[in-house]
Structure 1
Amino acid sequence: MGTRVTVVGEALVDLLWRTGARELSAVPGGSPANVAVGLHRLERPVTLLTAWGDDPPGALVNDHLVTTGVEVRRVPADSARTIVALAYLGADGAATYDFLADWAPLELPVPEDTTVLHTGSLAVVIEPGASRVLDLCRRERARGRTVAADLNVRPAVQPDRDAYREVCLRLAGAVDVVKASDEDLAWLFPDREPAVAARALLAAGPRLVVVTLGAEGAFAVTAEDEVRVAAPVVDVVDTVGAGDTFQATLLDAIAENGGPPAGREALAAVLARCAEVAAVTCTRVGADPPYRAELTGM
């Protein structure tokens, strides 16, 4: 195996509605697609396994992915429709979402030189694709690949909190690394503090759980350690794609190191790097992760 990261999940179109605006902006994206772009800009070999429909949103997705330079494998699917997300952007740049969603890939061929497999977001919740992705995670982990997931909770696609929590716990049991935001955990575990909720995910079976805290930074828990880092202070334009940039940077480190960081010092260094790179995305409009050349000296 090499150092390739293979990303499995949706590519979609975000319809961005900013507070006070009269018109929507159609922007191609999707968390897994954004993660793949972030990895590519960090000069990490990456393949995106995804599906979209032969419809107008799909044409926009196709054009976008072609321009990114990411190696994309469009897999056959039961559905002919592209996922469309309506993203409401508040005055603080934070987004809430609603979805017109189908996710039904028929096959997910992982390149042989893959070291790390990543998935998450809608791809692990929307059936029938979610069950196929979960099976893939279990198989690839059994083969010795590091498997990571970003929960990226979207209640609009599964408003039943108990059902969504069970999905996330099953996924946590099939992967090595789980990332979530404090908002994800607050919705999944409304009666628990973030650190306690993170430990609940860790108990399901991963080696590492990472939690992003927005402007407060991030923390991570393992069986032995808990590490917390601060976030850089920046002028925030919006937060779209910041979590995906954080995840891309984490995956890049995992691929580089041959597995999740071990020990407090190594884990703190990786988290700090992830927070720094994500902060750059917050200074830009939309999901626009930085290139490696922009990060020299960070």
Structure 2
Amino acid sequence: MAHRVSVVGEVLVDLLWKAGASEVVPAPGGSPANVAIGLRRLGRPTTLVTSWGDDPPGTLVAGHLRRAGVPVRRAPGGGRTMLALAYLDAAGSATYDFLAAWDPTGLAVPGDTTILHTGSLAIVVEPGASRVLELCRDLRARPGRAVVIDLNVRPAVQPDPAAYRDACLRFVEVADVVKASDEDLRLLYPGLDAAEAARALLSYGPRLAVVTLGPGGAFAVTAGAEVRVPAPVVAVRDTVGAGDAFQAALLDALAARDPAGDGADRLPLPAGPADLARVLTRCVTAAALTCTRVGADPPTAAELEDALSAGTGSADE
């Protein structure tokens, strides 16, 4: 059985402003939408549960999702589509400012959902964030299901670090797996190194915390282990969507596991350091491939397998 991942969260239009450019280029996306597209390209049954407005940016978003072939449940609510102004520096790294609008109603995932993934603005911007939280609680109460959160911190929507951390921790408390970048953790836990911050997140209940380190690779911590893997060395075009490609590969690996294999109530996670290292290597390779392209353009399953077979990624325990 191919287990379904339902991705719940915002879609938006990025207004891309490159360093030195005089024009702003609109590009449909949003972290949850990028994750759903990444999962679709990996062959994973996927549904995107989201909302957008009946406005020109919404028309752009709708066409983008249709072309990507992602099954969508469009929830009612909200008169306008979210916008993000993305400033791209000379190296292709982006910083963001947002015109945030997240007010979906009647959120629901398909009945065969094994994993519910959410994160980014959808867990911070109200009133939608509280509705997503209730959906996470409902699904996690079902046997063999799991909730996975990507914090993907965007201070522009909540500049108070303590308030942002509190908003995130509501979701961490109902998550089986939480993922963050080292930059996210510096914003949420100033004064702690990334490993300390990851273990602080574990103390709220998740069984696995995964941290991305950009060109430094990634690491993961559980109650009894810590595993690190390096990132493949690639020629970077830009980093847009790299974290979302990583997350899609992580969700695909988790969803490939048999819910019956870990008792009646919990989805099994990677078993031991070697298994976890293999999963992380797959994830950093997916992210690296995305960095070789312009924009959020995650790899297909065949492209990812080819890169792994060629030895693009390796693991250190």
Which TM-score band applies after superposition, normalised by the shorter structure?
over 0.9
Amino acid at match of 1:138: R
Summarize deviations over 1:179-198 as a string: whole Å, max 9, x none.
Answer: 00000001111111000000
- The gaps in structure 2 that reach 5 residues or longer are 259-267, 309-317
Runs of 4+ that moved beyond 6 A? none
Q: Secondary structure at the match of 1:257?
A: coil
Per-residue deviation, 1:295: 2.3
Q: Is this contact kept in 2: 1:186–1:194, CA < 8 A? A: yes
Asked if residue 126 in structure 1 is aligned to residue 158 in structure 2, the reply is no
Amino acid at match of 2:295: G
Per-residue deviation, 1:92: 1.4
Summarize deviations over 1:118-143 as a string: whole Å, max 9, x none.
Answer: 00000000000001111111111111
Query: For residues 58 and 117 of structure 1, what CA distance do their matches in structure 2 show?
Result: 24
After TM superposition, list the pairs within 5 Å mapping 1:66-105 onto structure 2: 66-77=66-77, 79-105=78-104
Q: Secondary structure at the match of 1:73?
A: strand
Q: Secondary structure at the match of 1:36?
A: helix
After TM superposition, list the pairs within 5 Å mapping 1:1-298 onto structure 2: 3-77=3-77, 79-144=78-143, 145-258=145-258, 259-297=268-306, 298=308
Per-residue deviation, 1:59: 0.5
Summarize deviations over 1:214-238 as a string: whole Å, max 9, x none.
Answer: 0000000110111000000001111
Amino acid at match of 2:15: L
Summarize deviations over 1:11-56 as a string: whole Å, max 9, x none.
Answer: 1000000101110110000000000000000000000000000001
Q: Is this contact kept in 1: 2:16–2:27, CA < 8 A? A: yes
Q: Secondary structure at the match of 2:126?
A: coil
Query: For residues 168 and 222 of structure 2, what CA distance do their matches in structure 1 show?
Result: 18
Q: Secondary structure at the match of 1:127?
A: coil
Q: Is this contact kept in 2: 1:2–1:114, CA < 8 A? A: no
Question: Number of residue pairs matched?
Answer: 297
Q: Secondary structure at the match of 1:111?
A: coil
**Identity %, equivalent residues:** 67
Q: What is the alpha-carbon root mean square deviation over aligned residues?
A: 1.0
Q: Is this contact kept in 1: 2:47–2:70, CA < 8 A? A: yes
Q: Secondary structure at the match of 1:22?
A: coil
TM-score by length of 2: 0.92
- The gaps in structure 1 that reach 5 residues or longer are none
Query: For residues 92 and 274 of structure 2, what CA distance do their matches in structure 1 show?
Result: 33
Per-residue deviation, 1:98: 0.3
Per-residue deviation, 1:2: 5.2
Amino acid at match of 1:281: T
Q: Is this contact kept in 2: 1:118–1:149, CA < 8 A? A: yes
Amino acid at match of 1:288: D
Q: Is this contact kept in 1: 2:245–2:287, CA < 8 A? A: yes
TM-score by length of 1: 0.98
